[in-house]
Structure 1
Amino acid sequence: MSARRSDTRERIQQVALELFAERGYEKTSLREVAERLEITRPALYYHFKAKEEILSSVIEDLNASIGELVEWAAAQPHTREAREEILGRIAALLNDQWRPLIRFAQVNQAAMAELPAGAQMQERILTMVSVLSSPEDGAVEQFEARLAVIALILGSVPLMGGPELTEEERAATAMTVATRLISGLRGSGQ
């Protein structure tokens, strides 16, 4: 696929997710996506025939990146440094390419539940949540490891009723909390 076509697809995905989060998935049409992008509907249809295709393609990209992250994380030693690096990589993905999809999923849970790719995303996220703990860890340590990843996820979306923080401050706060949660895990002193 050419770089230009790939860039256009990514731009369509990004704008569509923004509209889906703003207006709701069901209330957003492909016409509105094309208008926001300032392209014709045939140009949009060249890349995606339906909004379901747009959403599925975004989720497939997310699932692939989670799969790569989980595979890499599984090969890491159970040391504090490795766990902090895993958290850093999760945070980087959340603060870069995953944030729009996480926000979309938060606002459009019904649409996510109806798509097969949505079920795959949920399964992949659950797998990712477990990468920081090992079978040797007790129940409390495993729970803390899962909470660390959940803290990062929560740090990537605006909190309702929370303190007014910039996206960067919220992400940094989430990373601090996540790092504290994993500090007591076995292997942390290695």
Structure 2
Amino acid sequence: MTETPTRRRGDTRARIQEVALERFTDNGYDQTSLREIAEELGVTKAALYYHFKTKEEILDSLLAQAATQIDELVSWMKAGPSTRERRLELIRRLGEITFGVPGEVMRCVQQNEVALQNLGGATSVVHDIKVRLWEAAQPEDASVADRLRVRMAIMTVLIANKPGSDLGGTVAERAAAAQEIAADLVP
């Protein structure tokens, strides 16, 4: 079976996003150029421009992808009763999601917070994602302590998946610990 031009184009776009995200996170957003991304991919800058004109366009596309996955999780949570079991399931699913693009994008934005302040949108999108998660997971008539517990549980999951973490352990060990701690916190 031959690949269609649309399929190859989608693969190239995804590969550009993957390489750019890795470089933004490892080297810094300001320290990464479109030329470097093109070189790592083995394509010309013109080929890269076909998909993305700027680094900001790449970052925006990654943020949109992350927001979509989080929005699906939030919609799932809001579609059912606000029970502790459902909140625990949200935390479990969030743990799975953070091993993909949303977690990587949130870490990238957090690591590049100063550089991205001039862009404005990136840091506010990540903050909005966290707020949507917090609001979806909090119990009806939540006390201040319950709201804080929900936020801490969500942040525990997000922090534990940070690469190069000084927490020690493997990724799997940190994820399991985060789920255990979050479960203790969830009201």
Structure 1 residue matching 2:98: 3-state secondary structure:
helix
Q: TM-score, normalised by structure 2?
A: 0.88
1:144 pairs, out of 140, 143, 149, with 149
Q: Which range moves more in the overlay, 15-24 or 117-126?
A: 117-126
Change over 3 Å in CA distance of 1:159–1:180 after alignment to 2: farther
Q: For structure 2, list consecutive stretches of 5 or more residues without a partner in the other structure.
A: none
Partner of 1:63: 67
Partner of 1:179: 183
Structure 1, residues 163-186: CA drift from partner, whole Å, max 9, x if none? x2111221121111111111xx2x
Query: 1: distance between equivalents of 2:83 and 2:7?
Result: 39
**% of aligned pairs identical?**
36
Give how far 1:12 is off. Answer: 0.8
Map residues 84-95 of structure 1 onto 2, 5 A cutoff. 84-95=88-99
Partner of 1:18: 22
Q: TM-score, normalised by structure 1?
A: 0.87
AA paired with 2:20?
A
Give how far 1:159 is off. Answer: 6.5
AA paired with 2:162?
V
What RMSD, in angstroms, separates the aligned Cα atoms of the two structures? 1.9
**Higher RCO (C-alpha under 8 Å, 6+ residues apart):** 1
AA paired with 1:91?
G
Change over 3 Å in CA distance of 1:153–1:39 after alignment to 2: same
Change over 3 Å in CA distance of 1:157–1:135 after alignment to 2: same
Residue pair 2:149, 2:185 contacting (<8 A) in 1 also: yes
Query: 2: distance between equivalents of 1:60 and 1:133?
Result: 24
2:55 pairs, out of 36, 51, 64, with 51
How many residue pairs get aligned? The number is 182
Query: 2: distance between equivalents of 1:36 and 1:141?
Result: 47
Q: For structure 1, list consecutive stretches of 5 or more residues without a partner in the other structure.
A: 186-190
